[in-house]
Chain A
Amino acid sequence: MPTAPIKEYADSDGRYGRVQTRFVEFDGITLESGIYLGPLTVAYETYGELSPAKDNAVLILHALSGDAHAAGIDEKGRLGWWDAMIGPGKGIDTDKYFVICSNCLAGCKGTTGPPSINPATGKPYGRSFPLVTIGDMVNVQAMLVERLGIEKLLCVIGGSMGGMKALDWAVRYPDRVRSSVVIAATARLSPQGIAFDWVGRNAIYSDPVRVEPAGDSGGGAERAGRGLAVARMIGHITYLSEETMEAKFGRKRRLTDVNGYRYSLGENGGGGGEFEVESYLEHQGSSFMQRFDEDSYIIITKAIDYFDMEWSYGTLSAAFRNILAKMLVISFSSDWLYPTSMSLAIVRALQAEKKDVSFVELDLPYGHDSFLVNAGMPPLTRIIRGFLGRVSEGD
């Protein structure tokens, strides 16, 4: 009997209720590359009430494939990607905090990105979208936060790429963040991480392009391959641990025939996969094709590849010198993509600068994605709730 596919996000209840993504417009922004990008739309959601003193705002920073819909239930009935963490009485308590989540620059969920119309051509940017950095994403978020009338955030919280942004926020805007929670992240993407991203992008580049009639340039061309699905499959392998794969899938097969094997490659070698793990990856890849834009995937993974605070500031200590925020760094024992050693590099540099840093490595077997899955929720809820309490009490 086929097992249910692993859910990408933790089970949740949508306790916050109905939410709607909102949009705000800006003239534009000069990117770190020097290119001007405008006009600019930012998609965001908010949960809870901003206090009269405007001192209870928490900014949630999503990972590679996330979006502004972090909590509650949207108009299509979908739960937010971190609904298990955000809501009334949850780790990030919407009865206490005003929670903001925005889709990142170059995303494909409402914020200006490759699928957006390039005003110069009247067509989507597609792959002609300028390369952006994690810093550019943070700068755009800072514009949003300012527009919402918030001078100083109580906390910025993110995992994976979101953790990079949380770190960058504390460095870039020291007087605008009181605290930062950096989960399963690194201050410098490893060559291994760059390698996986490169393979993922190559899968996309390998797709055949169905070129549209002459005159079309940059984007708009419909693509015919499954490169994005393959990229996502590679990504998913890096997000899970060997232990999780063994526990969840083992060598289980969906269809068997002679000797327990099917002795068939299936249609075009695909056919949904024979092993459970194949079927899981197939499902993840296919569903990602439906919900994500391949050019966004290219641009965002490139931004992650560029992220290297050592390079940008000389040393990590130099990068962190001006940080004023209380820092909380969290890693997962089974995360081999951004292992604990990378979190410890952040912690040590913060210590060297005598910053207020807390550090927890959580013993969880679920790999890099531990901050999104069921088992990660109880410890993370306790930790984040406690940390936010300390920060908001002003200790």
Chain B
Amino acid sequence: MSPKVTEFRNPFHEFEVGFNVIMDMIEPGTRVLDLGCGTGTLLKRLRDEKDAEVCGVELDQEKVIRCIERGIRVMRLDLDEGLGGFPDLSYEYVVLSRTLQQLTRPSRVVKEMLRVASKSVIAFPNFANWKAALQYVIRGRIPMCGSHPHPWHSTPDIHPLTISDFRDFVDQIGGKIEKEVYIVNNAPTRSAFWANRRAEWGCCLISAA
């Protein structure tokens, strides 16, 4: 686990704490697919530190090119069009990091993840975080903070959710949460008092029930 960092991260900063949590959930030497892989930072770490066989999916052209420049296998695809091309259980892990809340059809994508890999790792911003909630309740503003860095009109986060929402969601689509890690004050923890209101991020390992 990385040292505790107190300040909220700039959104363009690599998601280091979250990546450490995800890394810890993945067994070495496995095949890992990262959906919405960005410039391939996590995949590069998985390849170099976990000896994983990695592949990314990303929609942004520039990020896709960056992945290829970094020697990362990548496909430029739109997740909202599904994972139709990926055969059943062709990976050990599928990762969806900071992308769930941006999908048009999250349930379709997560169901597909459960089909494509035996385990899925999903990291998402927790919209019930109290600092964010206070902005809404006290200031009367749509929250903007480290985990929700964009103003309402330009945020890609079209499907805000909370850790509690996520538990229900996984249940509804026929999945099972095997492990939950919360990122509270930018530090990972397995159990936290009032986690749903204190965590900035949730990160869960799930599988088909």
Residues of A within 8 A of B (CB): 326, 328, 344, 347-348, 351-352, 354, 356-363, 379, 382-383, 385-387, 389-390, 393, 395
Contacts and interface: CB of A to CB of B under 8 A. Distances in A.
Interface residues of B, number: 19
Interface string B39-63: 0000000010000000000000100
B69 interface: yes
A394 to B, nearest CB: 11
Given A357-B75, A383-B65, A383-B68, 7 more contacts: A354-B87, A357-B73, A358-B73, A360-B61, A386-B68, A389-B71, A395-B71
- Interface centre among B65, B68, B77, by most A CB within 10 Å? B68
Contacts of A348: 84-85
Contacts of A385: 69
B64 interface: yes
Given A348-B85, A351-B87, A354-B90, A382 B69 contact: yes
Contact of B61 (A347, A362, A387, A395): A362
Given A347-B75, A354-B90, A360 B68 contact: yes
Contacts of B90: 351, 354
Q: Which 4 A-B pairs have the closest CB atoms?
A: A386-B69, A390-B71, A386-B68, A348-B85
B65 A359 contact: no
A39 to B, nearest CB: 42
Contacts of B72: 390
Interface in B10-58: 47
Nearest to A326: B73
24 contacts: A344-B85, A348-B84, A351-B85, A351-B86, A352-B85, A352-B87, A354-B90, A356-B73, A357-B75, A359-B75, A360-B61, A360-B64, A360-B68, A360-B74, A360-B75, A360-B76, A383-B69, A386-B68, A386-B71, A390-B68, A390-B71, A390-B72, A395-B47, A395-B71
B116 to A, nearest CB: 10
B127 to A, nearest CB: 32
B70 interface: yes
Given A348-B85, A351-B85, A352-B87, A358 B74 contact: yes
A358 B68 contact: yes
B65 A360 contact: yes
Contacts of B75: 347, 357-360
A67 to B, nearest CB: 29
B134 to A, nearest CB: 41
A292 B127 CA distance: 65
Contacts of B86: 351
A352 B64 CA distance: 22
- Interface centre among A347, A351, A382, A383, by most B CB within 10 Å? A351
Contacts of A389: 71
Contacts of A387: 68
Contacts of A379: 61, 65
Contacts of A352: 85, 87
Nearest to A363: B61
A185 to B, nearest CB: 16
B192 to A, nearest CB: 39
A359 B87 contact: no
Contacts of B68: 328, 358, 360, 382-383, 386-387, 390
Interface string B79-123: 000001111001000000000000000000000000000000000
A344 B82 CA distance: 13
- Interface centre among B69, B72, B77, B86, by most A CB within 10 Å? B69
A390 B61 CA distance: 19
Nearest to B68: A386
Contacts of A347: 75, 85
B114 to A, nearest CB: 18
Contacts of A393: 71
A395 B74 CA distance: 14
A359 B71 contact: no
A315 to B, nearest CB: 14
Nearest to A364: B61
A348 B61 CA distance: 19
A392 to B, nearest CB: 10
A348 B77 CA distance: 11
Contacts of A351: 85-87, 90
Contacts of B65: 360, 379, 382-383, 386
Contacts of B85: 344, 347-348, 351-352
A14 to B, nearest CB: 26
A356 B71 CA distance: 13
Contacts of A358: 68, 73-75
B74 to A, nearest CB: 6
A248 to B, nearest CB: 23
B35 to A, nearest CB: 14
A359 B61 contact: no
Nearest to B54: A395
A315 B86 CA distance: 17
B88 to A, nearest CB: 11
B94 to A, nearest CB: 14
B77 A359 contact: yes
Interface in B175-206: none
A182 to B, nearest CB: 14
A41 B95 CA distance: 53
